[in-house]
């Protein structure tokens, strides 16, 4: 092997850690991403994993770059293979420049030096010498830090803080492991000198590093969320976990319900009594919630639904990603009633749209969806922060007086929403068709009026639509349409196309569909759509509302998100 | 307080003449009037079925939700505003069939609410099919050879789950039932009152007369003794009425959720703390 190696891009390195569940990959990922950021690098991380507690094969990708980095790439520059089968697991992503750091003994027959550029690093041996082979993951983290010549003090400080709640011995051994790993880079004779040149950004240390799930949860707090009821389901659970952790601090009731049916009925009950409630779930759980969604439609109850998609049907691939529940969110719930569906891509949008969801749900008394997916909720990167200056928790509850009627017919369809115990009026809500006072009725003329009242809000919602984000030259000829989590992947792919006739249009609100859609599409000579599903659900929605069909579809539905290079290549094929 | 405060005036009631729901409606009004509970501070939560229509005949705050889902909604209403008196009321099909899972877990959660179940051992609104509490041998248009499923025993299940308050009553005895309902409403914690109620249209087996002959009131019963309560609950020849069991001082759901210990304001009275949020976001610069 050459003694001097360089990667495909000198200022943008992709590191992949691969091993079994339970080997502490998450710890390495956690340590390294924080350490890189503290050392002044931009960092992005995403993971793919199997639905099991132990064993299987999982991998985490960490990208380290001079500029902001927000998307997943296929290529691997440095692979840390922690056990047998690891290389095999990611073999399609290994390229000629990939350097594999692995321990000969643990990798076993995979260790084929003629095929791969391998460096035998004694992770386990070093860990055992320190006291226990379980430290091998931290040794590996130290080795990567050493490769990047990160100030050892930064590494030690963070490792010390990270394990600070553990016993003195554990802290000591982890510190020793990180240091040993770090020094292996210098001490090992056949360690290649790797040439890369990632400029340190000025201020990443002062930036925040967070995941999509955390952006949803923080956005919920910013939206005044004080009630979350949910049933654990990958990949949506992290939002419940985060809000439960901070429940006391922010006066939040965080309850794990017995099932998703209970969860959504609790959330609707909570809104009825004056809370600002949300549920978090994935497709299968949301399927159970659909009657509750319809209840929200009938009661004109606000509700915020975080729907983190994963591949279906049924149990599907529990820990993987897909964008195949757009139509589920759109058409779920029997009967006709309005709703809003947001599909954020960037972390900033994820935060702000979740925040806004609570205000809109309250203002229009309707369900508002935050449609994310496993890729979005489990990926994270550094961003400057969130602008909180414009954050307003808008409350639309009214104090009732005697004779108050919950469903009084008004000109715009919105009846002032009272809650029980606030004022001298009584608040009645009913899942049956009801009169203005909220009591059961079979007056069929009134039925028509009530349907019209509920649906008239759709017209009002048109004034609130978040326009799609257009990126590219105004005189574009080719337009790429995308929505939700693919935002940053498309952004990077389009940049790497380096063409002056290509633009992309990202929808962060997919329903009601923004009015600008038709104009953008009509201007393009060629339209392409990128979706993480098999039937191009968003293209169907666009066709329905604009009459414009999109023939050029770039779809992926194997359970993984797009890689930047893969998308670039598929776009190139369509463009040429 | 006069029961008139809860009267809806001239309304069209959907129950059959002679229905056991009528006395339960009156019992509830009297019990709540005796307890001086203001309509503005009361929420009646129900599901779907004939019994579940009761909130529409009652002048108070009403949450008439989905079939089987009264308990999750009632739990959340009480949690969001603990100053409200919350009563979840529906029939046996709604609470024990469609809502069976919520019945179990609401008992475990122990919100300070009252759960009144009109138990007529039949589905009325859907016209006479078996309910979870239908007796073995009960013939219906669906169970044409008679019910062969073991009847659901809500009292025994509730005691097994160490429910906070477990009682059974009979709609044919207004005074005693009112007494039990008052105890349930004033009890701190989840309180179940299963009320036997004849269905005059679809249950020709479990009539007023049948209930009179097959029930008796618990006497010299120690309602703190869970084993004794369970023994009484599993008796099948004659069915006991009265308070079977109350568990020793249990913390309620509202007490356990931890946001009311230092601040008794209901959720709608609280404002989010954006400064605190700013500080939390700051921590993501390091985020151990």
Cβ-Cβ contacts under 8 Å between A and B: the total is 206
What is the SS3 assignment for A201?
Answer: coil
Residue for token pair 């409350």 = A395
Q: Tokens for A235? A: 């990949």
Inter-chain CB proximity B76 and A205 less than 8 Å: no
How far away is chain B from the Cα of A428, in angstroms, using its nearest Cα? Answer: 4
Sign of the four-CA dihedral B106, B107, B113, B119:
positive
pLDDT of residue B170: 98
What is each CA distance from A335 to A432, A451, B17, B22, in whole angstroms? 12, 10, 33, 33
Three-state SS annotation for B197-223:
CCCCCCCCCCCHHHHHHHEEECCCCCC
List the end-to-end C-alpha distance of chain B, in Å, as a whole number. Answer: 59
Burial pattern A80-102, b for ≥16 Cβ within 10 A else e, equals bbbbbbbbebbeebbeebbbbbb
Helix (H) or strand (E) holding A518: helix A517-523
Q: Which of A206, A224, A269 comes nearest B63 by C-beta?
A: A269
Beta A277-281 vs A340-342: how paired, if at all? unpaired
Inter-chain CB proximity A208 and B39 less than 8 Å: no
d(CA A96, CA A89): 17
d(CA B70, CA B89): 7
Q: Model pTM?
A: 0.97
Residues of chain B neighbouring A208 (CB-CB closer than 8 A): 281-282, 284-285, 287
Residue for token pair 């859907």 = B126
Residue B176 makes CB contacts below 8 A (sequence gap 6+) with B169, B170, B217, B241, B242
Rg (CA), chain B: 20
Domain annotation for chain B: domains and CATH numbers: 3-285 (3.40.50.970)
pLDDT of residue A110: 57
What is the SS3 assignment for A361?
Answer: helix
d(CA A362, CA A379): 30
Secondary structure E strands in A431-556? 469-471, 478-483, 502-507, 509-511, 526-531, 552-555
Residue A467 makes CB contacts below 8 A (sequence gap 6+) with A509, A514, A516
d(CA A396, CA A522): 39
Q: Which of B104, B282, B287 comes nearest A209 by C-beta?
A: B287
d(CA B241, CA B234): 12
Residues of chain B neighbouring A422 (CB-CB closer than 8 A): 268
Strand partners, A79: A16, A100
pLDDT of residue A53: 78
In this prediction, the residues of chain B whose per-residue pLDDT falls under 50 are none
| DSSP tag of A184 | H
Q: Tokens for A248? A: 């006391």
Residue B90 makes CB contacts below 8 A (sequence gap 6+) with B46, B47, B48, B49, B51, B52, B68, B70, B99, B117, B118
Which of A266, A271, A393 is the best mutation test for B, with the most CBs of B within 10 A? A266
Q: Tokens for A445? A: 């003329």
d(CA A303, CA A367): 5
DSSP letters along A229-285, please? EE---TTTHHHHHHHHHTTTTTT-EEEE-SSHHHHHHHHHHHHHTT--EEEEE-HHH
Main-chain dihedrals φ then ψ at residue B246, nearest 5 degrees: -130, 130
Sign of the four-CA dihedral A319, A320, A326, A331:
negative
How far away is chain B from the Cα of A307, in angstroms, using its nearest Cα? Answer: 20
d(CA A67, CA A81): 27
Inter-chain CB proximity B64 and A421 less than 8 Å: no
Strand partners, A340: A368
List the end-to-end C-alpha distance of chain A, in Å, as a whole number. Answer: 38
Give, in degrees to the nearest 5, the angle at Cα A287 between A281 and A292.
85
In chain B, alpha helices (H): 21-34, 70-80, 92, 100-109, 154-160, 174-186, 208-214, 226-233, 253-256, 274-282
Which of A171, A251, A296 is the best mutation test for B, with the most CBs of B within 10 A? A251
Beta A55-65 vs A12-21: how paired, if at all? antiparallel
Q: Which of B53, B80, B277 comes nearest A270 by C-beta?
A: B80
Domain annotation for chain A: domains and CATH numbers: 4-199 (3.40.920.10), 209-383 (3.40.50.970), 397-464 (no CATH), 469-575 (3.40.50.920)
Residue A558 makes CB contacts below 8 A (sequence gap 6+) with none
Q: Which of A208, A253, A438 comes nearest B79 by C-beta?
A: A253
Inter-chain CB proximity A428 and B62 less than 8 Å: yes
Residue A308 makes CB contacts below 8 A (sequence gap 6+) with A213, A235, A236, A239, A280, A281, A282, A372, A373, A374, A376, A377
How far away is chain B from the Cα of A367, in angstroms, using its nearest Cα? Answer: 16
DSSP letters along B115-167, please? EEEEE-SS-TTTTS---TTPPTT---SSSTT---SPPP-HHHHHHHTT-SEEE
Main-chain dihedrals φ then ψ at residue B13, nearest 5 degrees: -95, 135
- Region of residue B3 (left: phi > 0; alpha: psi -120 to 50; beta: else): alpha
d(CA B121, CA B189): 26
Could you list the pLDDT tens digit for every one of the 576 residues in chain A?
445 556 777 789 999 999 988 888 899 999 999 999 999 999 999 998 888 877 788 999 999 998 999 999 999 999 999 988 899 899 999 988 899 999 988 887 655 677 778 889 999 999 999 999 999 999 999 999 999 999 999 999 999 999 999 999 999 999 999 999 999 998 887 777 777 788 776 688 899 999 999 999 999 999 999 999 999 999 999 999 999 999 999 999 999 999 999 999 999 999 999 999 999 999 999 999 999 999 999 999 999 999 999 999 999 999 999 999 999 999 999 999 999 999 999 999 999 999 999 999 999 999 999 999 999 999 999 999 999 999 999 999 999 999 999 999 999 999 999 999 999 999 999 999 999 999 999 999 999 999 999 999 999 999 999 999 999 999 999 999 999 999 999 999 999 999 999 999 999 999 999 999 999 999 999 999 999 999 999 999 999 999 999 999 999 999 999 999 999 999 999 998
Residues of chain A neighbouring B274 (CB-CB closer than 8 A): 222, 388, 391, 393
Q: Tokens for A142? A: 């130290």
DSSP letters along A292-349, please? HHHHHHHHT--EEEEEEE---STT--TTS-----HHHHHH-SSS----EEE---SHHH
Strand partners, A303: A367
């Amino acid at each position: 092997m050459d003694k001097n190696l360089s990667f495909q891009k000198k200022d943008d390195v992709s590191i992949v850690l691969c091993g079994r569940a339970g080997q502490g990959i998450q710890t390495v990922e956690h340590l390294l991403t924080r350490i890189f950021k503290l050392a002044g690098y931009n960092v992005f991380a995403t993971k793919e994993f199997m639905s099991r507690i132990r064993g299987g094969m999982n991998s985490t990708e960490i990208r380290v770059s001079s500029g902001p980095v927000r998307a997943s790439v296929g290529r691997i520059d440095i692979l840390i293979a922690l056990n047998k089968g690891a290389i095999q697991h990611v073999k399609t992503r290994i390229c000629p420049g990939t350097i594999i750091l692995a321990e000969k003994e643990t990798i076993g027959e995979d260790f084929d030096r003629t095929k791969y550029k391998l460096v035998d690093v004694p992770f386990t041996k070093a860990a055992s010498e320190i006291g226990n082979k379980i430290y091998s993951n931290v040794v590996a983290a130290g080795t990567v830090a050493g490769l990047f010549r990160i100030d050892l003090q930064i590494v030690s400080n963070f490792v010390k803080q990270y394990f600070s709640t553990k016993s003195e011995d554990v802290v000591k051994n982890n510190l020793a492991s990180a240091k040993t790993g770090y020094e292996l880079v210098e001490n090992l004779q056949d360690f290649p000198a790797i040439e890369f040149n990632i400029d340190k950004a000025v201020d990443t240390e002062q930036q925040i590093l967070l995941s999509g799930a955390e952006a949803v949860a923080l956005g919920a707090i910013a939206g005044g969320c004080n009630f979350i009821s949910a049933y654990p389901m990958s990949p949506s659970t992290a939002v419940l976990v985060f809000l439960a952790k901070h429940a006391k601090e922010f006066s939040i009731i965080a309850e794990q319900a017995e099932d998703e049916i209970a969860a959504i009925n609790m959330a609707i009950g909570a809104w009825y009594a004056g809370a600002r409630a949300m549920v978090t779930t994935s497709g299968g759980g949301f399927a159970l919630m659909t009657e509750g969604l319809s209840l929200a439609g009938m009661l004109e109850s606000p509700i915020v639904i975080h729907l983190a998609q994963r591949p279906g049907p049924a149990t599907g691939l529990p820990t993987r990603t897909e964008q195949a529940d757009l139509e589920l969110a759109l058409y779920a719930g029997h009967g006709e009633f309005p709703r809003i569906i947001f599909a954020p891509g960037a972390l900033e949008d994820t935060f702000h749209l979740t925040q806004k969801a609570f205000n809109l749900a309250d203002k229009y008394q309707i369900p508002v969806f935050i449609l994310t997916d496993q890729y979005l909720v489990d990926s994270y990167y550094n961003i400057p922060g969130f602008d909180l200056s414009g954050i307003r928790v808008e409350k639309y509850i009214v104090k009732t007086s005697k004779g108050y009627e919950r469903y009084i017919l008004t000109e715009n369809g919105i009846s002032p929403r009272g809650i029980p115990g606030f004022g001298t009026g009584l608040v009645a809500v009913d899942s049956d068709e009801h009169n203005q006072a909220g009591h059961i009725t079979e007056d069929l003329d009134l039925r028509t009026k009530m349907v019209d009242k509920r649906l008239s809000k759709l017209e009002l919602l048109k004034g609130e639509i978040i326009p799609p984000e257009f990126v590219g030259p105004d005189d574009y000829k080719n337009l790429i349409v995308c929505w939700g989590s693919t935002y940053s992947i498309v952004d990077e792919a389009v940049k790497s196309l380096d063409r002056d006739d290509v633009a992309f249009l990202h929808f962060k609100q997919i329903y009601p569909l923004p009015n600008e859609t038709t104009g953008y599409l009509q201007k393009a000579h060629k339209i392409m759509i990128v979706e993480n599903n098999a039937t191009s659900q968003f293209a169907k929605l666009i066709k329905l509302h604009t009459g414009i069909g999109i023939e050029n579809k770039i779809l992926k539905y194997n359970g993984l998100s797009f890689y930047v290079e893969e998308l670039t290549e598929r776009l190139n094929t369509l463009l040429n | 307080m006069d029961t008139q405060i809860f009267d809806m005036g001239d309304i069209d009631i959907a129950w059959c003449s002679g229905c056991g729901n009528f006395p339960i409606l009156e019992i509830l009004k009297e019990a709540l009037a005796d307890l001086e509970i203001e309509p503005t501070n009361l929420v009646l939560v129900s599901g779907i079925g004939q019994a579940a229509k009761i909130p529409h005949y009652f002048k108070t705050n009403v949450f008439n939700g989905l079939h089987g889902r009264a308990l999750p909604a009632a739990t959340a209403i009480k949690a969001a505003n603990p100053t409200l008196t919350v009563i979840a009321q529906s029939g046996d099909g709604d609470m024990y069939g469609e809502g069976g899972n919520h019945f179990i877990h609401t008992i475990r959660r122990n919100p300070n609410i009252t759960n009144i179940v009109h138990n007529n051992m039949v589905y009325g609104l859907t016209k006479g099919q078996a309910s979870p509490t239908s007796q073995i041998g009960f013939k219906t248009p669906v169970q044409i050879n008679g019910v062969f499923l073991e009847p659901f025993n809500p009292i025994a299940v509730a005691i097994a789950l160490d429910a906070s308050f477990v009682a059974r009553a009979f709609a044919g005895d207004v005074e005693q039932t009112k007494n039990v309902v008052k105890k349930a409403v004033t009890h701190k914690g989840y309180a179940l009152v299963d009320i036997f109620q004849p269905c005059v249209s679809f249950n020709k087996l479990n009539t007023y007369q049948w209930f009179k002959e097959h029930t008796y009131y618990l006497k010299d019963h120690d309602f703190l003794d869970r084993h004794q309560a369970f023994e009484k609950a599993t008796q099948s020849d004659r069915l006991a009425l009265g308070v079977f069991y109350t568990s020793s001082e249990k913390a309620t759901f509202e007490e356990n959720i931890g946001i009311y210990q230092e601040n008794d304001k209901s959720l709608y009275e609280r404002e989010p703390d954006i400064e605190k949020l700013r500080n939390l976001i700051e921590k993501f610069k390091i985020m151990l």
